[in-house]
Every structure is written in structure tokens, then in C-alpha cells.
Structure 1
């Protein structure tokens, strides 16, 4: 019944996810419940850290190419009168950018620092905006100041896209950085166009926020689709596992069926031949079961078969294998077990069934349900599996001939002589 509960729960989860996907498509209200919202942003942060780790060398190459493009260009456009001052600021800006990206990588890569990655990412963006604004606004060459606007815009957009931090949190960080930057430039009496700078800072922050929100909408849909696919896969696995279980087990007794026994016999038979070890087989039959069914009814008969199957399973060792062979017959495989060991296991089963004391008014051997057991032991002889089973069945037949309610051992050698 546990699989049915798990299946029902997964079906419910899938329906809820499909409902969320529909709402996401319609943009109706708050899409994610709190638990799922937390899970989404945790996954988003992990994805951001993985991307930084995975593409770090690509980033290094891209930044190196950027340096090769910027430095010669700055070299030629800087006015000669301010060359040393402005060129040093240019180099400092490039070094500052490299340091900021390195800090992101360190917090994304090292296990002990990973939990602090979102805080580090917001601190890096805050620092980058302020420091790069000061470095670029304090140069004297007008062309470099114009270039600063593009750099600041890039910092904001990369901060939103690269870090995986919630857009609202990054918006507050960006706006705070913009205010601090303007106050710093005013307090240091830096010459700049406050209107243009304010538009660049606030505009870049809001623009990055809008892009981030659109990307998050797409990421939410992907996240929901992945969750739904994962749930569907789990449902499929449960169905597959249940079908496999049903194909391998007897529906009434819940122990292995004839088909599974044949597969297990193949394995044990080959192992016994390869290792030259003993393989014992027990055939078990419920005495006068047809009389029991006729007198007590088939429902009671099914209950008896189920009880006996459970009792046999509990009476054998963990290394042994039991299956329902058909009707009221059971078979037990005892790997690496000689005749003495097999007789001991058979005795345990016999006594356990006897202790059940299930009334059987139509039995000619006892007042309660009894069993007959036949034993044979295979030691790698030149014998087919079919012949081996035939000898075990002969042992059971002999136990019945001798009056039932007993254990009979039939050796392979004696069977051949006979």
C-alpha cells in the first residue's frame, strides 16, 4: 500500500505544478508558494555559482581581450597634458574590475565561502559601481568620462544576470550604490554632469532590473517544467517497479512466483557448478489441501496458503529463497547448504507450520494443517536443472507415499540407481 500512497502524493504534486505552470503563463498573482520560492532561488544561486566556476577561463579570456582593446584605445585618446593621471586611472579601473570578478569566483568556488556568495555578490556590485564611478569620473579626458557611462551600465547588468541574486535585492543595492556615488562625487567636488550621471546610474539599475525580471520569468518556467519532469519520472519509476514486482511475485502470497524461481534456479545452479558447492532444494506441499478447500471454501484456502507462505519465509535464512511453485506447492532454494543443513531448515519449516495449528477436519493425518517436504542436494553432478527438479519432486512424492506429514531426503545417486 505504500507505493499507492507515494503514487497518489506524486500525482497530487504533478497537478499542483501544472496549475502553477498555467498561472505562470497567464501571469496570475503570486505564482510560487513560499517553500517553492525558496527552492527556486536556492537553485538559481547554485546555477549562478556553477556557471561562474564552469566558465571562469572563458571569462578570463574575454577580460584579457577587453584589456587588449581598451588599453591601446585609451592610450591614443588620453590628452597629453593629463596622460599619466588618466592612464593610471584607466589601469586601476581594469585592475579593479579583475579583482571584483576574482572575488565572485572565490566565493562561488570555495566550499566554506559558498554560503556567503549572495552577500559577497551584492557587496562586489556595490563596490564596483562606486569605485568605477570615482575612477572614471575623476579623469580629465572627456572621452574617458563618456566611456565610463558604458562601464557603469555593464556593471549593473552583469550584477543582475551573473550573480543569481533576487532582482529586488539587487535593485536596492544598485539604487543605494547610485545615491552613495552621487553623494561621494559631490562631497569630493568632482566635476561631472549630475543629471547625466544620475540618469546613467538609476537608468542602468532599473534597466538591469527589468532584464533580470524577464529572465527570471523564463527561469521560473524552466524550473517548473524540470520539477514536473522529475515528478513524472518518479511516477514512471513507481509504475515500472510495481509492474516488475507483480511480474516477479505471486499476487496471493506476496512471495516470488514460478517465473522468478526459474531465474533464481539458473543462477544458483550455475554458481553451484562453478564453485563446486552444494545446492539444496526443498519441495513443500500442503497435505490434503483439496479436501480443505472443498470443506472450508476457497477463501479460507487462500488464507491458509498466505499464512503458510509467510511462515516459510520467516522460517528460512536470509540467504535462502522461497517461491510459490503452483497451487499449494512451494519450493525453497538453499545455496551452499549440504544435506544436514537442508534437513535443519526443513525441520524449522515443518515445526513452524505445525505451530500454526490451523484446524483441518478433513485431513487423514492430523487434526490441523500439515505439510510434506522433499529434499535433494545438488553438488555439481552432470545433471540438468530439469532432472534436478524432478528428483526433488520425487522426494516430495515419496514423502506423500509414506503417509504425508513428514520430511523425506532423496539423494541424486539413489535416484539415478532407481
Structure 2
């Protein structure tokens, strides 16, 4: 029943995911329920950290190439009268950018720092905007100030794309950085075009927010489709497992069926021949079961069959195998077991059934349900599996002939002599 509960729960979860997918197509970027929303952003942060770790050295190479292109260019456009001051600011800007990227990598790389990755990302962006604004707005060369606008725009946009932080949180951090930057430059009496810098800072922040929202809307749909595919896979796996179980087990008794018995007999038989070990076979039949069914009804009869199957399973060893052979007949395979061991196991089964004391008013041998058992032991003799089963069946038939409610052992040698 547990698999049915799991299946029903998965079907319910899948329906809810499909409802969310439908809503996402109508209202793009709509937030999920709280638990799912948390899962989505956790996955987003994990993916951002993974990307930073995996592409770190590529980023180092790209940053190095850009530095090699930017510094010579700065060298040629800086006014000669302010060369030292402005060139030092350019170098400090490059080092500052490298430090910011290394900080992000450290928080994405080391386990102790990972929980603080989102906070570190917002702080790095806050610091990068303020520090780069000061370094570039305090130079004297106008061309460098114009170049600074592009750098600030890149910082904002990359911060939304690379960090995996919620767009609203990054927007608040970016706007705060813009306000602090403007106030800092005013307080330091730095000469700059307020309108232009304000447009760059706030415009870049809002542009990055818009791009991030669009990317997140796409990621939300991918996330939902991934969840639906995962749930569908689990449902398929449960169906497959259950079909396999049904194909291998008897529906009434929940123990192995005739088909599985044939497969296990092949395995044990070949193992016995290969290793020259004993293989005992027990055939078990419920005495006068037709009379029981006729008197108590088939429902009660099914209950008895289920109870006996469970009792047999509990009475044998973990290495043994039991299956419902058909109707009221069961078969037990005892690998690496000689005649004495087989008789001991058969006695355990016999006594366990006897202790149940299931009333059987129409039995001709007792006032409660009893069983007959036939045993034979294979010791790698020259006979087929079919012949082995025939001898075990003969042993059971002999137990019935002798009056039922007993155990009968039939050796393979005596069966051949007969």
C-alpha cells in the first residue's frame, strides 16, 4: 500500500507543478509558493557558485587579456601633465576589480564561506560601484571619466547575471551604492557631471534588474519543467518497480510466484552442480483444502492461503526460497542443505502451521488446518530439473497416500530404483 500512497502523492505534486506552469505562461515571472520559491533560489545560488568555480580560470584569462588591452590604451590617452596620478588610479582600478572577482570566487569555493555567498555578492557589488566611481571620477583625463561610465554599467549588469542573487535584493544594493556614491563625491567636492553619472548609475542598475527579471522568468519555467520531469521519472520508476514486483510475486500471498520459482530453481540447480553442493526441495500441500473452501467459502480460503504463506516464509532461513506453486501448493528451495537439514526446516514449517490451529471442521485428519510435506535432496546427480521436481512431487504424493498431516522424505536413489 505504501507504493500507492507514494504514487498518489507524486501524481498530486505533478498536478500542482503543471498548474504553476500554466500560471507562469499567463503571468510571466510570478512567484512560487514559499517552499518552492526557496528551493528555486537555493538552486539558483548553487548554480551561480558552480559556474564561478568552473569558469574561474577562464575568467582569469579574460581579465588578464582585457587588462593587457586597457592599460596600454590608458597609457596613450592620459594627459601628460596628470600622467602619474591618473595612471596609478587606472592600475588601482584593475587591482580592485581583480580583488572583487577573487572575493566572489572565495565565497563560491570554500564550504565555510558558501552560506554567505549572496551577502558577499551584494557587498562586492556595493564596494565595486563606490570604489570604481571614486577611482575613475577623481582622475583628470576626461576620456578616462567617459570610460568609467562603461565600466560601471558592466559592473551592474554582470552583478545581476553572475551572482544568482534575487533581482530585488541586487536592485536595492545597487541603488544604495548609487546614492552613497553620489553623496561621497559631493562630500569630497569631486567635479563630475551629476546628471550623466546619475543616469549611468541608476540606469545601469534598472537595466540590469530588467535583464535579470527576464532571465529569471526563463529560469523559473526551466525549473518547473525540470521538477515535472523529475516527478514523471519517479512515477515511471514506481510503475516499473511495481510491474516487476507483480510479475515476480503472487498477488494473493505476496510471496514469489511460479515464474520466479522457475528462475530461482535454475540458479540453485546450476550452483549445486557447479559447486557439488546439496539442494533440498520441499513440496507443501494444505490437507483437504477443497473441503475447507466448500465449507467456509473462498474468502476464508484465501485468508488461510495468505496466512500459511506468511508462516512458511517466517519459518525458513534467510538463504532459503519459498514460492506459491499453484492453488494450495507451495515449494521451498533449500540451497546447501542435506537431508537432515531439510527435515529440520520441514519440521519447523510443520510445527509453525500446526501452532496456528486454524479451525477445519471438514478435515479428515484433524480438527484444524494441517499440511503434508514431501522432501528430496539433489546432490549433483545426473538428472534434470524437471526430474528433480517430479521426485519431490512424488514425495508429497507419498505423504498424502500415508494419511496426510506428515513429512515424507524421498531420496533420489530410491526414486530411480522404484
Q: State the Cα deviation string for residues 321-379 of structure 1 (Å, max 9, x = none).
A: 11100111101112222222211111111011111112222222112111111112223
**3-state secondary structure, aligned to 1:323:** strand
Looking at structure 1, the residues matched to 74 and 382 of structure 2 have their Cα atoms a distance apart, in angstroms, of 91
Looking at structure 1, the residues matched to 76 and 274 of structure 2 have their Cα atoms a distance apart, in angstroms, of 83
Partner of 2:303: 303
Looking at structure 1, the residues matched to 336 and 149 of structure 2 have their Cα atoms a distance apart, in angstroms, of 81
Looking at structure 2, the residues matched to 209 and 121 of structure 1 have their Cα atoms a distance apart, in angstroms, of 15
Partner of 1:224: 224
Give the paired residue count.
418
Moved more, 389-398 or 169-178: 389-398
**3-state secondary structure, aligned to 1:140:** coil
**3-state secondary structure, aligned to 1:277:** coil
Structure 1 gap ranges (5+): none
Partner of 1:250: 250
Report if the CA contact (8 A) 2:21-2:224 is conserved.
Answer: yes
Looking at structure 2, the residues matched to 263 and 64 of structure 1 have their Cα atoms a distance apart, in angstroms, of 66
Distance 1:371 1:32, change over 3 A: same
Looking at structure 2, the residues matched to 307 and 133 of structure 1 have their Cα atoms a distance apart, in angstroms, of 82
Partner of 1:77: 77
Report if the CA contact (8 A) 2:29-2:216 is conserved.
Answer: no
**3-state secondary structure, aligned to 1:395:** helix
Partner of 1:372: 372
Partner of 2:16: 16
Partner of 1:180: 180
Report if the CA contact (8 A) 2:255-2:309 is conserved.
Answer: yes
Looking at structure 2, the residues matched to 146 and 152 of structure 1 have their Cα atoms a distance apart, in angstroms, of 10
List aligned pairs for 1:311-390, cutoff 5 A.
Answer: 311-390=311-390
Report if the CA contact (8 A) 2:29-2:213 is conserved.
Answer: no
Looking at structure 2, the residues matched to 276 and 33 of structure 1 have their Cα atoms a distance apart, in angstroms, of 64
Report if the CA contact (8 A) 2:28-2:217 is conserved.
Answer: no
Looking at structure 1, the residues matched to 91 and 278 of structure 2 have their Cα atoms a distance apart, in angstroms, of 82
Q: State the Cα deviation string for residues 55-93 of structure 1 (Å, max 9, x = none).
A: 112211211221122122112111222222212211111
Moved more, 22-31 or 185-194: 22-31
Report if the CA contact (8 A) 1:257-1:323 is conserved.
Answer: yes
1:234 and 2:234 correspond: yes
Moved more, 81-90 or 175-184: 81-90
**3-state secondary structure, aligned to 1:131:** helix
Q: Give the TM-score normalised by structure 1.
A: 0.97
Q: State the Cα deviation string for residues 93-127 of structure 1 (Å, max 9, x = none).
A: 11111111111111101111111111111111111
Looking at structure 2, the residues matched to 220 and 77 of structure 1 have their Cα atoms a distance apart, in angstroms, of 46
Deviation at 1:28, TM superposition (A): 7.5
Looking at structure 2, the residues matched to 211 and 92 of structure 1 have their Cα atoms a distance apart, in angstroms, of 30
Partner of 1:134: 134
Looking at structure 2, the residues matched to 156 and 23 of structure 1 have their Cα atoms a distance apart, in angstroms, of 30
Report if the CA contact (8 A) 1:285-1:328 is conserved.
Answer: yes
**3-state secondary structure, aligned to 1:325:** strand
Looking at structure 1, the residues matched to 279 and 150 of structure 2 have their Cα atoms a distance apart, in angstroms, of 81
Looking at structure 2, the residues matched to 271 and 105 of structure 1 have their Cα atoms a distance apart, in angstroms, of 58
Report if the CA contact (8 A) 1:23-1:31 is conserved.
Answer: no
Looking at structure 1, the residues matched to 132 and 164 of structure 2 have their Cα atoms a distance apart, in angstroms, of 22
Report if the CA contact (8 A) 2:272-2:380 is conserved.
Answer: yes
Q: Give the TM-score normalised by structure 2.
A: 0.97
Moved more, 405-414 or 176-185: 405-414
Structure 2 gap ranges (5+): none
The Cα RMSD (Å) is 1.4
Report if the CA contact (8 A) 1:395-1:409 is conserved.
Answer: yes
Looking at structure 1, the residues matched to 205 and 83 of structure 2 have their Cα atoms a distance apart, in angstroms, of 31
Looking at structure 2, the residues matched to 137 and 274 of structure 1 have their Cα atoms a distance apart, in angstroms, of 87
Partner of 2:27: 27
**3-state secondary structure, aligned to 2:165:** coil
Looking at structure 2, the residues matched to 363 and 239 of structure 1 have their Cα atoms a distance apart, in angstroms, of 42
